[in-house]
Structure 1
Amino acid sequence: MNKDKFSIKNIPGWVVMLAVFGVLYLTGLHTEGIGQVQRLLLAAGIKNADVPEQLTAPDESSDMASGEMVGAGFQMVGLDGKTVSFESLRGKVVFMNIWATWCPPCVAEMPNIQSLYEKVGSDKIAFVMLSVDEAVMEKVKKFINKKGYTFPVYMPASQFPKEFYSNSIPTTFIISPEGKIVAKQEGMADYDTKEVQDFLQSIVNK
C-alpha cells in the first residue's frame, strides 16, 4: 500500500504562520517583529504626530494658571542611577514619551524620536523617555544600549502623576516652560517632522 509522502507544501498556511509567531514569541522577538512592521507604516507618513497650529493661553481657573507645574512632586531615576525631580525641568520645553520594552508601537517610533532629539536637542528642550517596564533597570539599559539610543531615559521613582495617565502606550506629552501640557499624542506617531520641530521651537522662542 502506498502512503503519501510528507511534504511541507501540504502544511496549511495558518499552521506555518502560527509556528512562526510561536517561535518569535518564545524567543522574545515578537515585539521587534511587530515593531518593524509598524515602523514601515510610520515611514509611509500615515501617522504623523498631531501638534496644535498655535499655543493657547491657559485657563485662568486651572492649576497651570496659578503657577503649579504638571507632575509636581514626581521623581524619576535615570539609567545612571541618579534621581531627578520632574520639577527641575521647569523653564524648559519637555518632550516626554511614556514607553515600555515589550510594547511594539513604542519600539516602532523610537528611531524617529532619536532623530528628533538629535535635531532639536538643546539646553532649552529636555527629552524624557519614561519607561514603565515592570522590570529591573538592567533590562531597560540593555535595550537602549543595544539600539544605540542617546536620548535621556528614566524610570518612575515615585507615584505616577495622574496628569500623565493614559489609555494606551506609547503616549507623548509636550510641556511648556511654564509647566503646562500643550500637546498630547496617544499611540505611536512620527515625531521627526518639520511640524513638530517648528512647534517645539515656537514654544522655546515665545
Structure 2
Amino acid sequence: MKNLPGKENLLKIWRTIRPWVTFAALFLLLRFTGALSGISFVTGSALLKTGALDARTEAPAVAKTFDYDFKVRDLHGNIIDFNQFKGKTIFLNLWATWCGPCRVEMPAIDELYKKMKDNDKVVFVMLSLDKSEHFSKVVNFVNDKGYSFPVFVPSGYLPKPLQVPSIPTTLVVNAEGKIVTKETGTTNFDTPKFKKFLETL
C-alpha cells in the first residue's frame, strides 16, 4: 500500500520542525525550572546569545508588595538591614555557587551592573543561597571570577518571596516597594531594553 499524501506531508513537516521542537523543550526546561544545574557554560552562553533568553520587561497587572524586613551579610561579614534599600529600584538575584544556570547568566549581569553602577537610584543584590558554612566558598567563587557586582548571603530569616523553589530567580522591586517583574531560570539581563526598564522604574 502506498503512503498517503497526507502522511508524507506530515513526515516532511516533522523533519523540518524536529530541531526546533528539541530546542524549545530545552529552552522551557532551562528557563522555567532552573533544573539544568549541569549545563555547560558554553552551551548556556550560546543560548543567551540567541536572544531567546532575554529578560522580559512587562510589569504584572497587580504587583506584589516586597517585604524588606530581613538582613543580609556582605562578603566582608558586615550585616546589612535590607530596609536601607527602600526607595530605590532593586535588582535582586538569587543564586548559588553549585547552580549551573546561575553561573551561565552571571557574566551578563555583571556587564549590566558595570553599565549601571553609577546610577544611585538602582541597587544590585546578588544573594547567594549557599549554606552558611560555605561562606568562604562564595567569597572565593566571586573573587576567582572577578565579578564586580555586590554579593550577599542571608543573615537569618528570608521573607516568603525569596523562599523560591528553584534558582536562578531574579526579582525587580521598584522604588514604591512593588515586585514588578520576576524571572526564573537562566536569563540575559544585559540588553538595552532591560537597562532602560530599570532606569525608568
Flag whether TM exceeds 0.5 (same fold).
yes
Structure 2 partner of 1:28: none
Structure 2 partner of 1:171: 169
Contact 1:99 1:170 survives alignment (8 Å): yes
1:128 is aligned, of 125, 137, 142, to 125
- CA apart distance, 1:176: 0.6
Percent identity over paired residues? 39
Letter in 2 for 1:103: C
Aligned length: 164
**Which residues of 2 match residues 14-93 of structure 1 at below 5 A?**
34-52=40-58, 64=65, 70-93=66-89
Alignment deviations for residues 151-179 of structure 1 (CA, whole Å, 9 cap, x no partner) = 00000002111022323100000001111
Structure 1: 5+ residue runs without aligned partners? 1-30, 65-69
Between Structure 1 and Structure 2, whose CA radius of gyration is higher? 1
Give runs of ≥4 in structure 1 deviating > 4 Å.
54-58
Write the distance in 1 (CA, Å) between the matches of 2:129 and 2:109: 17
Alignment deviations for residues 32-81 of structure 1 (CA, whole Å, 9 cap, x no partner) = 872332122112222111111x68675xxx7x4xxxxx223210000011
1:119 is aligned, of 115, 119, 124, to 115
RMSD between aligned alpha carbons?
Answer: 2.1
Write the distance in 2 (CA, Å) between the matches of 1:162 and 1:185: 16
Structure 2: 5+ residue runs without aligned partners? 1-36
Contact 1:71 1:86 survives alignment (8 Å): no
Write the distance in 2 (CA, Å) between the matches of 1:140 and 1:55: 33
Q: Using CA pairs under 8 Å that are at least 6 residues apart, name the structure with larger relative contact order, 1 or 2.
A: 2
- CA apart distance, 1:124: 1.0
Contact 2:60 2:181 survives alignment (8 Å): no
Alignment deviations for residues 67-125 of structure 1 (CA, whole Å, 9 cap, x no partner) = xxx22321000001101111110011100000000000000000000000011222111
